[in-house]
């Protein structure tokens, strides 16, 4: 005889509990949407976003107590000696840069548009030039034998007055929406010019293609000698959506290295045109870059979480993969887990709203002449999104 068991009341209780918890939330959201709709009908402006600070906000230095992270007491680095500026390898840094004319109706320096960094005042038009000049200045401090080559359109009115920086006009469409695609084309045109100048098989004038919102804080020329058997180098991070960052690409300046790099960039350009023309204007090249690498070397993606340098072959080119946390480190923004600044960081990337911090860091360096202490300023200020 089967014994009937009483049904448990725990199962229907769970949906009831969820309903009790969700009803207040749903009601609050609906009231908020109704309020916004009513404000729009009355012609009222939308709620103002929180204003970003217009000066540095110092916070705690993350990573304290970890021997592989920068340790700071105040703004003094305690476990990283002053970085050397002794002459090392000669490397040519190459960046694509252009300026855009502002709205004539807003011409002039309105007080709301002016940014103050130290004793300097920058209008919107002057900020991008200040970033470019700071980029050049950091290279002159950290790698004094190196030079900077700026690729821009032939009609550009760009002028640079820093000794080891030069401008090379290259034809193309440098409009905002096309800039990332044009950058790849300009890299190819530049390398084809340099290939014609190589007069022997093993002669080398090495190149590093970078964004202009980067600070080279330590000599990186060693990558061309410590790792001798590669044609081009990419920086990787443990990011599934964008595992490779196009802001730092090194090319060995031999005939073979330049030839392989041209072939590689042509593959990236082809992928961009076929697959990523509708991507965000700042992401298409990175998506195309990752697609090309994955097409020929999918095993590389399994190594990106290890933060260790390795090499692999991509369509006949030997590629050196360098960890972003050393050669393309970005200060994190906002809340969340953050383990501090790697002790061996060599390049800091001030992308997005971090650009103001780049100018502040250079201003701090000018007053102290201590790159290591400047890194403490970056570490303690980098989590805030600044008005710039």
pLDDT over threshold 60, residue 304: yes
The pLDDT-based confidence of 57 (bands split at 50, 70, 90) is confident
pLDDT of 307 higher than 70: yes
pLDDT reported for residue 201: 62
First to last CA, the chain: 80
Q: Hey, is 96 helix, strand or coil?
A: strand
Q: Is the predicted pLDDT of residue 104 greater than 50, yes or no?
A: no
CATH code of the domain covering residue 232: 3.90.550.10
**Residue 251 or 122, more confident:** 251
Residue 328 pLDDT level (bands cut at 50, 70, 90): very high
In a domain, 347, yes or no: yes
Residue 27, in any domain of the structure:
no
pLDDT confidence of residue 266? 98
3-state secondary structure of 148: strand
* Mean pLDDT on 217-231: 94
DSSP state of 342: B
Range of the domain at 175: 72-80+88-98+117-328+339-381
What are the tokens at 286? Answer: 């990175």
Is residue 287 included in any domain, yes or no? Answer: yes
Report the range of poorest mean pLDDT among 14-23, 58-67, 132-141, 360-369: 14-23
Q: Is 351 left (phi over 0), alpha (psi -120 to 50) or beta?
A: beta
Provide the CA 150 distance to its chain's centre, in angstroms.
Answer: 18
pLDDT band at 280; cut points 50, 70, 90: low
Question: Does any domain span residue 94?
Answer: yes
pTM of this structure: 0.82
Residue 185's Cα: distance from chain center in Å? Answer: 20
Integer angstrom CA distances of residue 105 from 101, 108, 113, 378: 11, 9, 14, 36
Residue 105 has pLDDT above 50, yes or no: no
Q: Is residue 348 part of a domain?
A: yes
Domains in the chain, number: 1
Asked whether residue 307 is domain-assigned, the answer is yes
Q: Does 26 map to a domain? A: no
Largest CA distance in the chain: 99
CA 301/CA 288 separation, integer angstroms: 15
Domain membership of residue 3 (yes or no) is: no
DSSP letter for 230, please. Answer: -
Which of these, 205, 175, 206, lies nearest to 96 by C-alpha position? 175
Assigned token pair, 261: 């790099």
Residues 6+ apart with CB under 8 A from 266: 188
């Amino acid at each position: 005889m089967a014994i009937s068991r009483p049904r448990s009341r725990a199962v229907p209780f769970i949906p009831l509990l969820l309903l009790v918890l969700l009803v207040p939330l749903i009601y609050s959201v609906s009231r908020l949407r109704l309020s916004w709709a009513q404000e729009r009908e009355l012609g009222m402006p939308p709620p103002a976003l929180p204003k970003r600070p217009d000066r540095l906000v110092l916070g705690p230095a993350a990573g304290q107590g970890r021997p592989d992270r920068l340790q700071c007491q105040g703004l003094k680095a305690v476990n990283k000696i002053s970085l050397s500026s002794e002459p090392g390898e000669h490397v040519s840094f190459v960046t694509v840069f252009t300026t855009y004319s502002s709205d004539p109706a807003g011409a002039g320096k309105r007080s709301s548009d002016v940014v103050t960094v130290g004793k300097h005042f920058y209008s919107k038009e002057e900020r991008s030039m200040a970033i470019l000049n700071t980029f050049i200045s950091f290279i002159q401090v950290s790698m004094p034998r190196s030079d900077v080559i700026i690729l821009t359109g032939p009609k550009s009115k760009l002028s640079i007055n820093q000794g080891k920086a030069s401008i090379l006009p290259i034809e193309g469409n440098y409009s905002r929406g096309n800039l990332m695609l044009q950058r790849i084309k300009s890299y190819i045109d530049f390398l084809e010019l340099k290939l014609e100048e190589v007069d022997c098989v093993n002669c080398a004038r090495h190149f590093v293609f970078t964004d202009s919102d980067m600070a080279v804080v330590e000599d990186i020329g060693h990558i061309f000698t410590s790792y001798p058997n590669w044609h081009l180098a990419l920086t990787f991070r443990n990011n599934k959506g964008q595992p490779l960052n196009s802001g730092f690409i090194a090319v060995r300046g031999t005939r073979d290295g330049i030839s392989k790099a041209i072939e590689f960039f042509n593959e990236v350009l082809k992928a961009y045109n076929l697959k990523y023309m509708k991507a965000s204007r700042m992401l298409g090249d990175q998506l195309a870059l990752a697609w090309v690498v994955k097409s020929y070397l999918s095993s590389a993606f399994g190594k990106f979480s290890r933060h260790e340098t390795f090499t692999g072959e991509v369509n006949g080119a030997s590629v050196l993969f360098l960890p972003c946390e050393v050669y393309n480190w970005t200060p994190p923004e906002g809340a969340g887990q953050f383990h501090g600044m790697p002790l061996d960081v060599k390049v800091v990337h001030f992308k997005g709203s971090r650009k103001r911090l780049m100018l502040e860091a250079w201003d701090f360096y000018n007053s102290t002449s201590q790159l290591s202490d400047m890194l403490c300023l970056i570490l303690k200020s980098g989590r805030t999104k600044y008005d710039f």
